[in-house]
Structure 1
Amino acid sequence: MPHLALYTFGALKSPLADPAPLMREFHDSSEAIYRKIGRHSGYLARAQAAEGGQGTLFDLDWGEWGKFVVPDWYDKGRTPETIALAATLSLWTDLRPVFDALYTGLHRVALNRRYDWFERTQHPGYVFWWVPEGVKPTWQDGVSRLTHLHAHDSAPHAFTFQRPFDPEGTPTRLKDTGPRRDQVH
C-alpha cells in the first residue's frame, strides 16, 4: 500500500539562533508539536538526523532521507548563526490523518501564528506525493516536488489538500472536511 509523503518548507523572519522571545516561542512550540504529531494515528515517520549529529541542517547525516537541501529561492544563511528556515519531511498513511494532525490541537495554534515567524512568499509551503511502501522520500524529492507544484499547480506528481490525488493519480477529495470553523487556514 502506498504511503503519503509530506514536505514542508518556510523561510523564517529571523535566524533559528536568534535569542529573541519570538524565536524561543517557535522552538518551544516545535518540540511539543513534533511529540504530539509523532503519536498521531496515520503518522509513520519523519526525517531525523542521526543521533548525536553535530552541525547545521546542511551538515547532518539524514540517513535514508538523503542530503539536506532547500529550494533555490531560499536566499538566507546556511551557517548556525544565519539559518532562517523550517523544513519537515514525513510519511503518512493517508491524507485524512495528516489533515487531522495539522489542523487541530497544538499545530493548529501554531498555524494561527505562522506569520509571526514565517515570511510570506509566493511559494507553496508544503507538498504531498505518494511513494511505494518501503520507500523513504528524500529532502531532494521534497524540494523537487515543491518546485514542481509552484511551477505547475497540483498534479498527481505534487499536490495540496485543496487539489489532492489518490495513489493511482486520480483527483480525489478529502472526505469529511467541509472546512470546519476550527480548521480554516
Structure 2
Amino acid sequence: MQLAELNLGRLSQPIDHPDIAEFADNLDRINGLADRMPGFVWRFQDDSGNATSVQAFDDPLIIANMSVWETAADLERFVWGTIHRKFYERRDEWFGKMTEHHFVMWWVEEGHRPDLAEAKAKLAHLQAHGPSDEAFGWADLRSAKLWEKSRCA
C-alpha cells in the first residue's frame, strides 16, 4: 500500500494578489522538490503542472494539494525535513484558519491515483467519524515523529 494525502488551505487573498506572491512564486520550487524526493509517487495537477488553478471547491480561495507517497516516512521527510517546512511555518501569512478538518491521509493500492471526489470523501469521513483505517492524520501514524515538533496548533 502507498500513502495518499489531501491538504486544503484557504488563501487570505486570491493567488495572484501581491500579499500571496511569495507563496505563489515558490510553488514550482516546492512542487519540483517533492517530485524529486525519494518515495514520491504522484501529485494532483493540471496539464501545466499546477494544482492551484483547479477550482476544487465552491470557495475559489480554497486550494488543494494531493499526492501519493511510497511510505509515510517519505511524506514526513518531505513535509518536515526540507525547505517545505519553512513555508509551512509561515502559513499564517498566506492562509486563513480552517475551522474543520483540512488534512487527511489514507492508504491506496500501488498504482492507484485518487481523484478529488475520493479525497473529498476521505476528508468527509474523517470529519464525520474521526480517525480510522479509512481516513486519518499524522497523530494516527505511530511511526511518524517529525510532525510532533511542527504540527498545527
Consecutive unaligned residues of structure 2, counting only runs of 5 or more, are none
1:92-132 deviation line (CA, Å, top 9, x unaligned): 11111101100122110011111111111222221111111
> How does the TM-score come out when normalised to structure 2?
0.87
> How does the TM-score come out when normalised to structure 1?
0.73
Residues 107 and 52 from structure 1, CA distance in 2 versus in 1: closer, same or farther, beyond 3 angstroms? closer
2:84 to 79, 91, 107: 107
Q: Which amino acid aligns with 1:108?
A: R
- Large movers: runs of 4+ above 4 Å: none
Equivalent pairs counted in the alignment come to: 149
1:4-45 deviation line (CA, Å, top 9, x unaligned): 111111111111122x1x211011222211111111111111
Please say if residues 80 and 146 of structure 2, whose CA atoms lie closer than 8 Å, have aligned partners that are also in contact: no
If you compute each CA radius of gyration, which structure gives the higher value, 1 or 2? 1
Q: Which amino acid aligns with 1:104?
A: G
Question: Is residue 11 from structure 1 mapped to residue 32 from structure 2 by the alignment?
Answer: no
Question: Equivalent pairs: percent with the same residue?
Answer: 26
Consecutive unaligned residues of structure 1, counting only runs of 5 or more, are 59-68, 77-82, 165-172
Distance 2:80 2:49 in 1: 32
Question: Is residue 23 from structure 1 mapped to residue 20 from structure 2 by the alignment?
Answer: yes
2:143 is aligned to: 174
- Mapping of residues 99-138 of structure 1, within 5 Å: 99-138=76-115
1:167 is aligned to: none
1:80 is aligned to: none
Greater strand fraction, Structure 1 or Structure 2: 2
Distance 1:104 1:30 in 2: 17
Secondary structure of 1:103's counterpart equals helix
Q: Which amino acid aligns with 1:13?
A: S
1:37-64 deviation line (CA, Å, top 9, x unaligned): 11111111111212599xx514xxxxxx
Question: Is residue 89 from structure 1 mapped to residue 58 from structure 2 by the alignment?
Answer: no
1:61 is aligned to: none
Distance 2:86 2:49 in 1: 30
